[in-house]
């Protein structure tokens, strides 16, 4: 290899399926058309999916999935085309809405607050949602107490499939400067000269354990994208605005600004554990990440999934099927003897030497206004969480 070749920039990672989807249409023409179409108000969760479809975060999907893809994803974790895909992306409607819409071949989609139409759906198919099979296969349980399964059960019984033409993206009044589309994160990475980027999914404040994992990953790549999910989560998760203040404090004090950035991931949380980990990785590939951190119990909830089940599921795919490299981490902690952050992989010492606190214990301390030890949580982060809990 010549010198010129070795310093020439590599091509950025290809989006899933090869091309980044962009569903933005002609806003004026579509708005005029939409004014005369039956209107459907969609749920917050579906609104998140719509935004992800629109911007190409769900490339190669160009709309809500039809029955063949839906069945194929549920049964085989692949689209009908053979491309890997782990979570169905469908639009459910109630019987009442279905009758109101009738046999319309185009409908206008709006948010639940009755906004002006956001998109036009070209309806190609109407099919029944097989909720119990979907729950069992995708979530590994039919238990209606599981928050993801509960959302499936509460959705309408019939799905409308078809391609989307966007009039405009859903409006947001929070995290505006952090709402980068896949095209925008890709261009940001390019500008920063990052050829390899690791993505970190989170729906929690970041304590020392996750900071350590991110920084271990960053040691081997050019850049880090902390990509908090800000779509719907369960009500006892820490609200996204509080989390965002924690990330900002952490970045301010402890992260190199030319090597790390925060942007938000508009998806709603499914809590589908292993399957969602695969899906999260594919989405981050679309955002331009080459590597993806998979920790313990990724996207899990309660005791529905084994600790390393998400990591293991990656083994069921050929590496080129996903195209993004999973980086698997064990749980980490501060070890008094090692005098540093470590994991069972790197530290030979026993529990007694390790600073580890349960989630319940941490919440108890924060609620009482006590900072957890600084080996567990950065004081700036602890203070934000204490302050937030005081407000409740
Ligand atoms: Zn140790």
Average pLDDT over residues 331-335: 96
Average pLDDT over residues 58-84: 98
Write down the pLDDT at residue 1: 41
Write down the pLDDT at residue 369: 95
Number of H helices and number of E strands within the chain?
A: 15, 14
Contact present, 320 and 82 (Cβ < 8 Å): no
Write down the pLDDT at residue 7: 52
pLDDT digits (tens, 9 = 90+) for 173-220: 999 999 999 999 999 999 999 999 999 999 999 999 999 999 999 999
Average pLDDT taken over every residue of the chain: 94
Distance 336 CA to ligand 1 centre (A): 7
Distance 343 CA to ligand 1 centre (A): 8
Write down the pLDDT at residue 9: 53
pLDDT digits (tens, 9 = 90+) for 136-145: 999 999 999 9
Contact present, 156 and 92 (Cβ < 8 Å): yes
Which helix or strand (DSSP H or E) is residue 31 part of?
A: helix 27-34
pLDDT digits (tens, 9 = 90+) for 84-106: 999 999 999 999 999 999 889 99
Residue from 186, 203, 275, 354 carrying the catalytic annotation: 203
Write down the pLDDT at residue 10: 65
Write down the pLDDT at residue 113: 87
CA torsion sign for 28, 32, 37, 38 is positive
Write down the pLDDT at residue 234: 86
Distance 328 CA to ligand 1 centre (A): 20
pLDDT higher than threshold 60 for residue 60: yes
Distance 344 CA to ligand 1 centre (A): 8
Residue 204 bears catalytic tag: yes
Average pLDDT over residues 338-347: 97
pLDDT digits (tens, 9 = 90+) for 151-175: 999 999 999 999 999 999 999 999 9
Please report, rounded to a whole number, the percentage of residues in the chain having pLDDT higher than 90: 89
In the chain, where do the E strands start and end? 39-42, 63-64, 91-93, 106-111, 119-128, 158-166, 197-202, 223-228, 260-262, 291-294, 325-328, 333-335, 340-342, 354-355
Phi-psi region of 197 (alpha: psi -120 to 50; beta: other; left: phi over 0): beta
Tokens of 154: 């509460």
Residue from 204, 259, 363, 371 carrying the catalytic annotation: 204
Distance, in Å, from the CA atom of 40 to the CA atom of 62, rounded to the nearest integer, reads: 19
Residue 203 bears catalytic tag: yes
Write down the pLDDT at residue 236: 84
Distance, in Å, from the CA atom of 26 to the CA atom of 155, rounded to the nearest integer, reads: 31
pLDDT higher than threshold 60 for residue 3: no
Distance 340 CA to ligand 1 centre (A): 8
């Amino acid at each position: 290899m010549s010198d010129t070749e070795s310093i020439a920039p590599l091509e950025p990672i290809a989006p899933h399926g090869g091309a980044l989807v962009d569903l933005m249409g002609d806003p004026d023409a579509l708005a005029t058309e939409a004014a005369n179409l039956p209107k459907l108000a969609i749920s917050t969760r579906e609104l998140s999916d719509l935004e992800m479809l629109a911007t190409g975060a769900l490339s190669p999907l160009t709309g809500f999935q039809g029955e063949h893809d839906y069945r194929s994803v549920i049964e085989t974790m692949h689209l009908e085309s053979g491309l890997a895909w782990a979570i169905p992306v469908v639009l459910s409607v109630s019987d009442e809405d279905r009758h109101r819409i009738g046999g319309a071949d185009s409908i206008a989609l709006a948010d639940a607050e009755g906004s002006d139409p956001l998109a036009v759906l070209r309806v190609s198919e109407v099919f029944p949602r097989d909720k119990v099979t979907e729950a069992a296969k995708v979530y590994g349980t039919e238990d209606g107490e599981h928050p993801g399964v509960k959302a499936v059960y509460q959705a309408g019984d019939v799905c409308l499939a078809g391609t989307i033409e966007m009039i405009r993206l859903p409006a947001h009044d929070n995290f505006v400067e952090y709402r980068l589309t896949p095209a925008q994160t890709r261009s940001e990475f390019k500008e920063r000269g990052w050829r390899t980027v690791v993505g970190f999914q989170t729906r929690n404040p970041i304590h020392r354990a996750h900071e350590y994992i991110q920084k271990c990953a960053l040691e081997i790549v050019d850049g880090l994208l902390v990509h908090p999910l800000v779509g719907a989560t369960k009500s006892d998760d820490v609200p996204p605005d509080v989390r965002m203040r924690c990330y900002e404090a952490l970045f301010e004090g402890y992260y190199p600004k030319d090597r790390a950035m925060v942007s938000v991931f508009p998806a709603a949380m499914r809590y589908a554990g292993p399957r969602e980990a695969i899906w999260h990785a594919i989405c981050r590939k679309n955002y331009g990440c080459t590597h993806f951190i998979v920790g313990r119990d990724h996207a899990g909830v309660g005791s529905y999934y084994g600790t390393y089940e998400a990591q293991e599921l990656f083994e069921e795919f050929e590496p080129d099927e996903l195209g993004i490299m999973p980086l698997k981490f064990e749980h980490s902690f501060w070890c008094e003897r090692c005098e540093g952050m470590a994991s069972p992989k790197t530290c030979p010492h026993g529990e007694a030497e390790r600073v580890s606190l349960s989630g319940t214990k941490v919440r108890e301390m924060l609620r009482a206004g006590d900072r957890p030890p600084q080996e567990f949580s950065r004081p700036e982060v602890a203070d934000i969480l204490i302050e937030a809990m005081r407000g409740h």
